[in-house]
Amino acid sequence: MGVGAETMAELKSICRQRKRRQDHKANLKISKNRHDLYADELERLIFGRKPESAADIIPEGEIVLTINVYYPATPERFSSTRPHMSLLMTGSHTLAEFKDAICCVSDLQVCGEFSNTPDVAPDFISKSSFFFFEGVFYNDMRFPECQDISKTTIEWAKARNFPPYTQAKMEDTRFMDLTIKVGFPYLYCHQGDCEHLVIITDIRLTHQSDCLDKKLYPLLIRKDRLLTQKCAVCHVFIGRWFTTHDQFAPSDPCLFCDKCFRMLHYDAEGNKLGEFLAYPYVDQGAFN
């Protein structure tokens, strides 16, 4: 081939090094991301767990549903297919219990400007919500302040000659009462316009390796963990307030933790310093 002995020796040395690197990579364990590690830890905690009292054991023949709840349907989330959380529910659970197990920052977010009254705790967060399964709106009517927010959609559909929709109460409806499709996207709507896809990925009977303590259900088996936004001043604590038109802030808008926000914008008596607008902020990683 016209290749000198020295060149051939150098090529063999390079090939041996490359082979060693390939073998090393092949022998490396595949590292799991933080979501998989968290899911594995949850599984270890619940695998085959039995209740202390026989009265709390899940009865034989009970069905278990695996349900994925996705992030709210916003444009910036359309590219993400990872569910926000995965839950195990039994057939005897009500839809209201399922709703109470769903974590969403919209249930904590307060709208409004509170620079003059930062200590006021608003109590007007809406509790109205509904699930939509197979042409039926299941509304949460457990509290006096709950409203039927599906009524507008039903009237709109009726005026346009869509198939008729019916209504029921989610607190009176159990999963075993539903007619549903596995893998089909359903809807959970709360806070007026915060919409989540809900997909039931599996329905099966309980077995010995399941957690059989019914007090632990609804059972969280997977949860997406998000990076938190830190305070722009201390870079330590999670942001609780963001301000605009703020002469004390390094940027506009600017995110502050509660401690830095009060130290910079109020005196020792709690009086407002300067002019700025302040809005409560709930970080997406609040449920990590």
Q: What is the pLDDT of residue 288?
A: 63
Is residue 89 domain-resident?
A: yes
Residue 183, domain member (yes or no):
yes
Q: Classify the C-alpha dihedral 255-248-119-147 as positive or negative.
A: negative
Report whether pLDDT(175) > 90.
Answer: yes
* Domain enclosing residue 273, as ranges: 241-287
Which whole number is the average pLDDT over 60-85?
A: 77
Point out the least confidently predicted range of 79-88, 94-103, 149-158, 249-258. Answer: 79-88
**Beta carbons of 176 and 130 less than 8 angstroms apart:** no
What backbone torsions phi and psi does residue 102 show, to the nearest 5 degrees?
A: -85, 130
Same structural domain, 89 and 201: yes
Q: Kindly write down the DSSP assignment for every residue of 142-169, as one continuous string.
A: SSTT---TTHHHHHHHHHTTPPP-EEEE
Spatial CA neighbour of 194 closest among 64, 97, 113, 282:
282
Same-domain status, 269 and 133: no
Domain membership of residue 5 (yes or no) is no
Residue 121 has a pLDDT of 57
Instruction: Tell me whether residue 117 is in a domain.
Output: yes
Most confident of 107-111, 128-132, 220-224, 225-229: 128-132
Domain boundary among 173, 190, 223: 223
Q: 146 with 255, same domain? A: no
Q: Are residues 174 and 248 in the same domain?
A: no
Q: Tell me, yes or no, whether 95 and 199 share the same domain.
A: yes
Q: What's the domain count of the chain?
A: 2
Is 26 within a domain?
Answer: no
One domain, residues 120 and 170: yes
Same-domain pairing of 56 and 91: yes
Do 187 and 51 sit in the same domain of this protein? yes
**Contacts by 104-108 with C-beta closer than 8 Å and gap 24+?**
104/72, 104/190, 104/191, 104/194, 104/196, 105/282, 105/283, 105/284, 105/286, 105/287, 106/72, 106/190, 106/191, 106/194, 107/190, 107/191, 108/282, 108/286
Q: What's the mean pLDDT when you consider all of the chain?
A: 82
Confidence check: pLDDT of 130 > 90: yes
Q: Is the Cβ–Cβ distance between 108 and 286 less than 8 Å?
A: yes
Phi-psi region of 216 (alpha: psi -120 to 50; beta: other; left: phi over 0): alpha
